Structure 1
Amino acid sequence: MLRYIAQRILAAIPVMGFVALFVFLLLRLSPGDPAAIIAGDAATPEQLEAIRERLGLNEPIYTQFFDWVSRLLQGDFGTSILSGTPVIDMIMGRLEPTVSLALTTIVLAILIAVPLGVIAAWKHGTLIDRLVMAISVLGFSVPVFVIAYVMIQVFAMNLKWLPVQGFKSIFDGVGPFAERIALPTLTLTLLYIALIARITRTSMLEVMGEDYVRTARAKGLREGRVLMRHALRNCAVPIVTVIGIGFALIISGVVVTESVFNLPGIGRLTVDAVLARDYPVIQAVILLASLVYVVINLLIDIAYVLLDPRIRYA
């Protein structure tokens, strides 16, 4: 297992290198000039040239790339072109809202979606099964921003139960934190409930007809124990896979939700950086998202061994 983990970590190095090269070239070769954004519309050509010289934008592309990579290897993600703040400080300052939203979303989605998928498989073909599948289709079909505005209209505008925007740290109190995170969490949870419930139902249906499930029922075991201990346990691998992928997607894809609910997280930081063509910030955020995918995929592979003893890694 340790050898496999070491191999996966080594294999991630060229992947991250390719991502870094792709992102760098994509940003540098796309239209737009950060110097013009910084200087404003009234800037003279001399002022624009001075800004480009100061930022190193006049250097050849390959020189800019190798300078950036060498700083990365030293733990330096660069400095924001617009604010002059170290990029790592900007990311760390925006990390808590995004991580909080991701964790609350995935935990709530698991607590709701897995039981729903199990019940749908158990009651296959009944009204309950069709209702769960209808919820899944609805969750996949409706855009996130539409769900967000419906949540705001119902729970904030009509019922006045929850605030619309903003974020409170959990260190400022669980109550204020829960009030602010509730609406964005519910918005994203509907999407991931649809995903996890559908995979859980499909996986459960595949194992419900297996011999070990029929044997467990023949022994007179309670239906709940048959479903949870024998059926669900043996179809846990695909469920864990989709949960892990879902968590990675949440971390890297909260742009719309954070924008709607005005959460000062990584998503908002990404939007602001893209609009301002702040190269160092964009590059760092994309590399961070790629690293999250690599780490989560590694954790999923390790979980396979714990869930299914038949799986072995050389």
Structure 2
Amino acid sequence: MLRFAARRLLYAVVVLWLVSTLVFAFLHLSPVPVERVLGGPRATADTLAQIRGNLGLDRPVLVQYWWFCGRLLRGDLGDSYVNGTSVTALIAARLPTTAWLIAGGAVLWLAAGVALGALSAARARGPCDRAATVFVLAGLSTPPFVLALGLLYLFASGPGGGGGHLFEAGPPLQEHFLRRMTLPWIALAFLMAAAYTRLTRGALLDVLGEDYMRTARAKGLPEHRVLVRHGLRAALTPVVTQFGVDLGALAGSTIVTEKVFGLQGVGQLVQQSIAAGDTPVIIGVTLLVTLLVIVANLAVDVGYAVLDPRVRLLPP
């Protein structure tokens, strides 16, 4: 296990380096210079040159990249081009909002998706299966922003859902916090729950036809125990795989939900940074999302052995 963890850690470092290099290259090869974005369309040549000098953009690209790698090794993501604030501080201030949004939505979509998928597979071609199919089609066909706006229109008490910062009204788990986060959680989880319902149903139907499932029934085990302990446990392997990928990737893809409900999270930070051409913040968020995806996939690999004893973490 230690060798496996060390090998995956080495892979993670290589992936982070590759991603950071690609993002650095793409953003510095942008057709719109950063100094033009910050200086505005009416900035003079002297002003643009001064901006480039202040940001260190007048240095050779290799020198900029060397400085960039050196800061990353020290854990320094640099400072924002717009306000000079540390990128780490900006992300740290927005991350709790996005973390609560993703955590609550993940609990909803995983619980609803697995429960509906298992019920649909256990009652295949029955009324429950047909109802689950309708739910899946509705969930996959509804754009997230349409659902978010619809929920806001039907249930919000005021325009914009009472925007502002998530923690203005008090700490998490208080009544106002839960009331404020319910609609964003539902909007984020609806599409994902539909996808997980379909994934769980397909995986469980495949498992129910295995020989060991018939053996368990032949031994006289109750059907619910056969379904949950033997069938669902093996069927959750692809679900866990997808869950790990989605959980990490959602850190940078909650822009629509945060925008509609006025949540100042990482998604909003990405949108504002792209509009302002704030390269260090974009790179910082990209590296954060990459790290979360790597950690999630490592947790998925370890979870395989827990869910399915046939899986062994052997070296390649």
Same fold (TM over 0.5): yes
Q: Are positions 1:224 and 2:207 aligned together?
A: no
Deviating runs (4+, > 4 A) in structure 1?
A: none
Instruction: Name the residue aligned to 2:65.
Output: 65
Amino acid at match of 1:120: S
Aligned: 1:83 with 2:74: no
Pick from 156, 160, 165 the counterpart of residue 163 of structure 2: 165
Q: Residues 172 and 227 of structure 1: is their aligned pair in 2 closer, same or farther, counting only changes over 3 Å?
A: closer
For residues 96-139 of structure 1, give each alpha carbon's deviation from its aligned partner in whole angstroms, at most 9, with x where no partner exists. 11000000001111221111000100111122212212211221
Deviation string 1:213-233 (CA, Å, 9 cap, x unpaired) is 223223333222221111111
Spell out, residue by residue over 1:235-272, the C-alpha distance to the aligned partner (whole angstroms, 9 max, x if none): 22112112212212322211111112121100000000
Specify the SS of the correspondent of 1:235. helix
1-structure distance, mates of 2:245, 2:140:
16
Alignment of 1:192-207 (within 5 A): 192-207=192-207
Structure 1 stretch displaced more, 216-225 or 132-141: 216-225
Shift of 1:164: 5.1
Deviation at 1:167, TM superposition (A): 4.3
1:32-69 CA distance string (max 9 Å, x none): 23323333344322111111111011112221111111
Distance 1:309 1:275 in 2: 49
Q: Distance in 2 between matches of 1:173 and 1:113?
A: 24
Larger deviation: 218-227 or 273-282? 218-227
Task: Give identity over the alignment, percent.
Answer: 39
1:313 aligns to what SS in structure 2? Answer: coil
Displacement after TM superposition at 1:2 (Å): 1.1
Which has the larger displacement, 96-105 or 254-263?
254-263
Cα deviation, residue 13, structure 1: 1.8
Match of 1:234 in 2: 234
- Work out whether residues 166 and 261 of structure 1, in 8 Å CA contact, stay in contact via their aligned partners in 2: no
CA RMSD of the aligned region, Å? 1.7
Contact 2:249 2:292 in 1 (8 A): no
The one-letter code sitting in structure 1 at the alignment partner of 2:163 is Q
- Equivalent pair of 2:79/2:86 in contact (CA under 8 Å): yes
Asked if the contact 2:161–2:261 (Cα under 8 Å) also holds between the matched residues in 1, the reply is: no
What one-letter code is carried by the residue in structure 2 that aligns with 1:144?
P
| Runs (5+) with no aligned partner, structure 2 | none
**Could you say which residue in structure 2 is the equivalent of 1:105?**
105
In the alignment, is the contact (CA less than 8 A) between 1:102 and 1:251 conserved in 2? Answer: yes
Count the aligned residue pairs. 311
1:153 aligned residue: 153
1:116 maps to 116
After TM superposition, the score normalised by the length of structure 2 is: 0.93
Question: Which residue of structure 2 aligns with residue 300 of structure 1?
Answer: 300
Distance 1:167 1:55 in 2: 30
Secondary structure, counterpart of 1:220 in structure 2: coil
Contact 1:151 1:187 in 2 (8 A): yes
1: distance between equivalents of 2:307 and 2:76? 39
Give the counterpart letter for 2:175 in structure 1. G
CA contact (8 A) 2:116 2:197 kept: yes
1:264 is paired with a residue of what secondary structure?
coil
How far, CA to CA, are the matches of 2:270 and 2:186 in structure 1? 22
* Superimposed CA distance per residue, residues 194-224 of structure 1 (whole angstroms, 9 cap, x where no aligned partner): 1211111011100112222223223333222
Residues 70-79 or 237-246, more deviating: 237-246
Q: Is the 8 A contact 2:252 2:270 kept in 1?
A: no
* Map of 1:181 onto structure 2: 181
Matched, 1:55 2:55: yes
CA distance in 2, matches of 1:240, 1:121: 18
Match of 1:10 in 2: 10
Distance in 2 (CA, whole Å) between partners of 1:212 and 1:165 is: 54
Whole-angstrom distance in 1 between the partners of 2:142 and 2:271: 22
> Please, which runs of 5 or more residues in structure 1 have no aligned partner?
none
Deviations 1:132-177 (A, max 9, x none): 12211221222111111111112126xx7x9353443362652111
Q: Does the alignment pair 1:33 with 2:33?
A: yes
Q: Is the contact made by 2:172 and 2:178 (CA closer than 8 Å) also made in structure 1?
A: no
Structure-2 separation of matches of 1:164 and 1:133: 35
Q: Distance in 1 between matches of 2:255 and 2:99?
A: 13
